Structure 1
Amino acid sequence: MHRHRLHRHALKLGLLLAAGALALIPLSREPQVRSRSRFLLTDGVRDGKAFPLISPSTSEGLRPDPVDFTPEELRELNRRFGVHGPQPRLAQLFTEGIDQLQPLRSHTLGRLEELRPVILSESRRHNINPMLVTAVLFDELQHAKPGEDLPLAARSGLFSTHGPAQLSVGELVKQGLLPADATPEQIDEARMELLDPDRNVRLLVGKFVRLKQALGLSDNALLMASTSPADAKAIATLAYLHNGKLDYPGRVLRYMQDAELHALLYGTRKPITSPLI
């Protein structure tokens, strides 16, 4: 009974936020002109030789939109990784409404502050852009479902993903940390492992390392969206493969430019000295 009541409240909140978001959308807009993606996603093998899945095309033009995937790219990503299209528009509006809740944002930033040391250390160790890791964690923490980080809920099997980065037990299998034919006891232990925040962040970084290798990207490539269109497209692809929703990369790239997230990750911290001392 209590669960159904919470579900009804959440549904009402979602509808209210969606209605508010719709009210903010102007009735008419100037048409937006976007350049098509100027990258090629291939199967990574040509004439028996491997090469990057993401590579710039030879066409010239305006700086491409990194989240503008061509139909061919989407088919290739779906074939290889099983990703799909965007979430429904109503769900997107609900997500955008959630992002406007300042108390929730402050709570999320507080949790990221606790994870900052492991984000920086693991990202540096594996040459992964720490802002990508931070942006993904910010989004997943912002939109986490209430109670899903409780051990009892994890053991129940009610949720398929766990921890700050919303990782599944299957990611442990893909990283070779859990056998594919794991016993129920091993799966239960794996779920508890995913609930550990620091361990979860390490596994998220490991997931990006794994995906970079699958895409044929160099292990030494840090990927900087602000300086390289090819890097921006690679980051968008990594974000897409992490979440599986086509509207997700745009949010991640936007969070990567968030001044407050930059300050949290790279800002210097000075101890506050009491004026009485």
Structure 2
Amino acid sequence: MTTDFDSKKAQASAWFRSLRDEIVAAFEGLEATQTEGPFADLPEGRFEVTETKRTSDDGSDAGGGLMSVMRGGRVFEKVGVNVSTVYGTLGERAQKAMAARGVPGMADDPRFWASGISLVAHMQNPQTPAVHMNTRMFWTPGAWWFGGGSDLNPCIERDEDTAFFHNVLKEYCDRHDAEYYPRFKAWADEYFYVPHRHRARGVGGIFYDDLNTGDWDADFNFTQDVGRAFLPAFLGVTEKWRDAPWSDADKEAQLAHRGLYAEYNLVYDRGTKFGLETGHDANAVLMSLPPVAKWY
């Protein structure tokens, strides 16, 4: 299985990197065209790119990636777009977590390989929603799967924006299986719920994990379309509201919602837990946290 999957791993890793490049270019383009509105006088935002490295317990190379973060732009107060490809041996806690999810062979061979892209955007204007997107491939000697999704996190919810975002995701899901959108929307509603606040993190989207239909090409093609859907879904809402005026009350609502977002990511998010437990760069793992938040 290892030999058979070498080319597939390379293909997936290259795709995540190309999606990263496309999104970074689109976001910097959005900054360049932000010539009106409350934040137009700020410097045009640009990404700072840092190479990340992961080392195993014995100090050997275990992969890494690129952390790209923009701060203090005209549209984005903070946005991170990370890609990584990491590998090695899972620690005991991670092995148990994988075994609990039904991954076979963990006790006999705990090697793993994982690659993906992760994005979180926190906006300057409270009228524009925060957003999250990620897609990934995971491999062990006994199994492989894809996961990911995207979800919208506005502090000012509008039914038409929610419908637009979801309709784009549905369009891309329907190209592969008519059951994917309702199934993965329901999964997102469950996954992005904050139990201790008794509410959802945002207005949802899609979420899927452990996707292995037995057809690697089909599952990879679907995962690619999840990535392709992101820009039309998110920019369609952002471009509509990025010039809109806002009030002090709107800003307070934004900061409070960021507190909710931070709570979720630190307490429940699978990616955060996995990244920290497997020794990945902590700054890259915690890139999702907002620059400023409030709790009341």
TM-score tier, shorter chain, comes to under 0.3
Point out the structure with the larger strand share: 2
Superposition TM-score, scaled by structure 2 size: 0.24
Q: Which has the higher helix share?
A: 1
Structure of higher RCO (CA pairs closer than 8 Å, 6+ residues apart): 1
Computing the radius of gyration over CA atoms, which structure comes out larger, 1 or 2? Answer: 1
Instruction: Please report the TM-score for the alignment, with normalisation by the length of structure 1.
Output: 0.25
